[in-house]
Amino acid sequence: MTENKSASTPRKDRTLVLVLCIVLVAALVVAVFGYMGKDQATRLHQEQASAIAQLESRIADASEQLTASEKELTAAQATLADLQKKYEADMAASNTALAAAQEDAQKIQAEQSSQISELQKQLSQTAEQLTRSQTELAALQTQLDKAGSQANSALADLQTKYDADTAAAAAALAAAKEEAGKVQAEQSEQIKQLQADLGKMTEQLSVSQDKLAALQTAHDALQAELDQEKAASAEALQEKAASAEALQALQAEYDAYKSTAQEQLADLQARYDADLAAASTPVASEWDYQILSQKLIIAKYKGSSAEVTIPATLEGLPISGIGAQAFQGNAALTRVVVPEGITSIGGKAFAGCTALTELEIPASVIYIAPDALAGSDALQAIRVPTGSYATVWAQTNGLESKLAAQ
């Protein structure tokens, strides 16, 4: 209220001044009337009266505006008081929050100072460790350089030895292949000769069998006659007995000849089987292969046989796998037997073998490429042990209908 009174006092003072000014103007007008004529004074009086009326109207408007302004000022002062109170409350809360924040900041600063001190200590330790590590690394690098130099020297020696061994092995392999070719040619000639001998022995055996049949027929006829003439005279009986003895002697001679012939035939058959087995020994020249960990991988079959039994060993080493494309495109191949011990069949190993009708796979095989038989559409039977990997592979690759038990 005090503020309102102090604010309204200047306005009242201004109003009084304004009224005094009006009175002064009126006095001046009266003074002017004293010097002017009556008409002129009247006219001036009327003008002054009009001016005074306008001034009074303006004073009334000013008073109304002043009253409205005082009301607005009162409302504004009330609003200002409320804002002052709210400001003071907000300032009190802000001061409280600022004090708490400052306290927290001091705590955080103290903690960070401690952490920084600890980190500086760890950094110092890390720097020391890094220095030690760099020293050790330099020593290890020196040792490594020395070991590398020694290893390079040893590697060079090994390479030289390997090159020499490879050259020697290549020469020995070439000589062995040449010798194997000669042996194969000799064995082929021996087999042909044995086959001719066997044919002759077979013919002789057939002739002997014909003779035996004739003797048997004669024996049966004599036996019939002997039976018919048992009731004959003793002399006739003795004659027949002599004939029977002669027939028995002939039979004994035939049996001895038959036994000898059978022994010769058995001996010839044994020799033929031995030579055939020797001749069927795989020839290294028919196979290209790779050596991996003292085991062979068949790289290519170069023979022309229709039926092929892949050997279990070659050049004294076991065969463990059939490489990719080993038989690919072999149009003469009709049957292949994979031996026990082979564990893998590579990609397209038998692809495009258009005449292949039968393939035998052992239980030792544990991997077959999905396209191993691609394009071999004439295949009729895949012989596999029940429950083997090859069975599952055939079922997975749409060849279940081709499966057959070994």
pLDDT in tens, 113-139: 777 777 778 777 766 777 776 777 676
276 and 191 Cβ atoms separated by less than 8 Å? yes
Of 278, 312, 344, the one marking the end of a domain is: 278
In a domain, 219, yes or no: yes
How would DSSP label each residue in 171-235? HHHHHHHHHHHHHHHHHHHHHHHHHHHHHHHHHHHHHHHHHHHHHHHHHHHHHHHHHHTTTS-HH
Same domain, 304 and 384: yes
Helix, strand, coil percentages for the chain (3-state, nearest 5): 70, 10, 20
Of 278, 294, 317, the one marking the end of a domain is: 278
276 and 193 Cβ atoms separated by less than 8 Å? no
Same domain, 259 and 301: no
In a domain, 149, yes or no: no
In a domain, 122, yes or no: no
Task: Return d(Cα 276, Cα 270) in angstroms, integer.
Answer: 10
229 and 244 Cβ atoms separated by less than 8 Å? no
Same domain, 287 and 269: no
DSSP run (H or E) holding 344: strand 344-345
Residue 275: per-residue pLDDT = 47
Same domain, 273 and 356: no
Task: Return d(Cα 146, Cα 394) in angstroms, integer.
Answer: 56
The set of residues, in sequence order, having a beta carbon less than 8 Å from that of 338 and lying 6+ positions away, is 310, 322, 345, 359, 360, 361, 362, 365
Residue 50: per-residue pLDDT = 83
Number of domains observed in the structure of the chain: 2
Burial of residue 379 (number of CB atoms within 10 Å: 0-12, 13-18, 19+): middle
Same domain, 291 and 351: yes
Residue 1: per-residue pLDDT = 45
In a domain, 357, yes or no: yes
Same domain, 381 and 301: yes
In a domain, 128, yes or no: no
SS3 367: strand
Residue 210: per-residue pLDDT = 64
In a domain, 116, yes or no: no
Per the structure, the complete domain to which residue 267 belongs is given by: 191-278
Residue 164: per-residue pLDDT = 59
For residue 291, give the CATH number of its domain.
3.80.10.10
**Two tokens, residue 154:** 């040893």
Same domain, 306 and 324: yes
290 and 299 Cβ atoms separated by less than 8 Å? yes
Give the Cβ contact number of residue 18 at 10 Å: 14
Residue 254: per-residue pLDDT = 61
Same domain, 244 and 290: no
First vs last C-alpha separation in the chain: 121
Same domain, 399 and 289: yes
Q: Which residues of the chain have pLDDT under 50?
A: 1-5, 169, 176, 183, 233, 275-282
Same domain, 388 and 317: yes
Give the Cβ contact number of residue 348 at 10 Å: 21
In a domain, 103, yes or no: no
Task: Return d(Cα 223, Cα 228) in angstroms, integer.
Answer: 9
Q: Which of 326, 323, 271, 317 is nearest to 294 (CA)?
A: 317
Same domain, 244 and 291: no
Of 278, 310, 331, the one marking the end of a domain is: 278
Same domain, 306 and 364: yes
In a domain, 255, yes or no: yes
